[in-house]
Every structure is written in C-alpha cells, then in structure tokens.
Amino acid sequence: MPNILAVKNLRVSVAGKPIIKGVSLALQTGKIHVLMGPNGSGKSTLAQVLMGHPTYQVTSGQILYQGKDLLKLDPTERSARGVFLSFQYPNEIPGVTVSSYLRMIHNKRFGTHLSPVKFRSILDKKLKLLKMETGFLDRYLNDGFSGGEKKRMEMLQMLVLEPKLVILDELDSGLDIDAIKIVAQAVNSAYRHTKMTVLLITHYSRLLKYIAADKVFVMRGGQIVQTGSHKLADELEERGYVPFGE
C-alpha cells in the first residue's frame, strides 16, 4: 500500500520560534492514523502546515502528497487536490448562508453548476447522517453556532467535498458524548464510502472508542517520539504522556 503523504525532516517556525523540530512521518493510503500528544507538542501546527496556513514558516524539510511537493501549493490548490482540514476552531462567517456556501464549494470542487434544488437533494442525506435540522441551511456559516454545531458543520463540509486526505484537528474538543458519536459516525461513513486517508489529531483517546485507528504517532516537543499500533493509544490512556517524555 503506497503512502499518500510523506513528511520528511520537517522544521517549522512561527515568528522565528521553532515549533516543529524535525518531524518525519508517512500516512498510508486508505488508513486511519492518529497523532496524539500533550498541549503545545506541535500537533495543531502540523495540521495547519499541511493545509498551507500562511503564518507558519517551513524552514526545512519536505512534504510529498501523492508524490508531489505539497509546499508549492496554496490552500485552494491543496483543497482542489483532495486535502481537507477540519478546524479545531472553525471561523464564523456572518452574512453567508450555509446553503449557498456549501453549494459554492461543491460546485467548485466538482466543476458542476448544480441548482439550489438539485444540490438540496444531495445534502439531505448528509444532514440526516449528522442529525442536523434543515434549519441549519438558512443560518450564517458558523455564526453563533455552539462548539458542537461548528464541529458538525465541519463534518458536513467534509461530506460535501469528499476529500482524499482528511486531517481532523481536535475533532472531539468541547463535545459531549452524544456529539462525539455523531461526528465519529460521519467520519466512519465517509471512510467506508470514499476510502479516504485519515489523520486524526487528538489530545485524548476517547474518540478512538468510535474510530478504529490503524496507526498511532505520539508527538512531544515538536518531534515524533513514538510510533505504534492502536495499542499505543491504550497505553497512553493508562499511563499518560509522561513516559514518552524527553
């Protein structure tokens, strides 16, 4: 099984301060990977760099996505090639309705010109999967949404865009157990249907009760300190991050 993504010796700084200090990892096509680690370990920075956030400076190293240099692409082009990042803190976009926005990104991704009615029929199933009321469609994007609603809106966008590589940044933060089940179900459903590759970034292992991981990386101090199977996550659950320290 080839790797969809290969990160080689990556070093990243923000405003001159090194955050990621030489990370190498490979994501196998069609597998579910988990990146765990304590706060401040550089997990979210890695997620942002993979999507192309302009604030982070890659000082050295390489990221190959489907064999191509990902760092040469802007976020728009990365999205067009199937990279998707579910944000830890999705932005609020007042004045832009969910329905027109979703149709816009769908038409953009697939080069279609679906009418609002036609697009609605595509959306209905996805809304149901996420247990979202159709009233969501008339609201402004993430504007005044609760934490749980924002995460479901991220999952809805994932389902609409059908990405190849999905990076889930702290998908479970701020969610109660029912909401965790719902978003996990969305990930599993998309995974089954599209055989996408997943990089799940999380502080806790509780999401792993609902999403079966193939591989686990542990990050600390800007480096990958351990790699293993899903058993590694169980171990972390019991013993915390301390044994993986410097």
Binding site for another protein (CB under 8 A): 51-56, 58, 71-80, 84-85, 87, 90-91, 93-96, 101, 104-105, 108-109, 140, 157, 161
**Cβ nearer to another protein, comparing 109 with 230:** 109
Q: What is the DSSP letter of 39?
A: T
- Min dist. Cβ of residue 30 to another protein (A): 22
- Min dist. Cβ of residue 31 to another protein (A): 22
Of 153, 160, 202, the residue nearest 179 (C-alpha): 153
**Cβ nearer to another protein, comparing 104 with 177:** 104
**Cβ nearer to another protein, comparing 14 with 225:** 14
- Per DSSP, the three-state class of 138 is helix
Task: Compute, in degrees rounded to 10, the torsion defined by CA atoms 57, 228, 82, 56.
Answer: -10
Task: Give start and end residues of each alpha helix (H) in the chain.
Answer: 43-51, 75-80, 98-110, 116-129, 147-161, 177-194, 230-239
Q: Do 87 and 80 touch, CB atoms closer than 8 A?
A: no
- Min dist. Cβ of residue 109 to another protein (A): 5
Q: Do 183 and 175 touch, CB atoms closer than 8 A?
A: yes
**Cβ nearer to another protein, comparing 114 with 225:** 114
- Min dist. Cβ of residue 187 to another protein (A): 17
**Cβ nearer to another protein, comparing 7 with 213:** 7
- Min dist. Cβ of residue 125 to another protein (A): 20
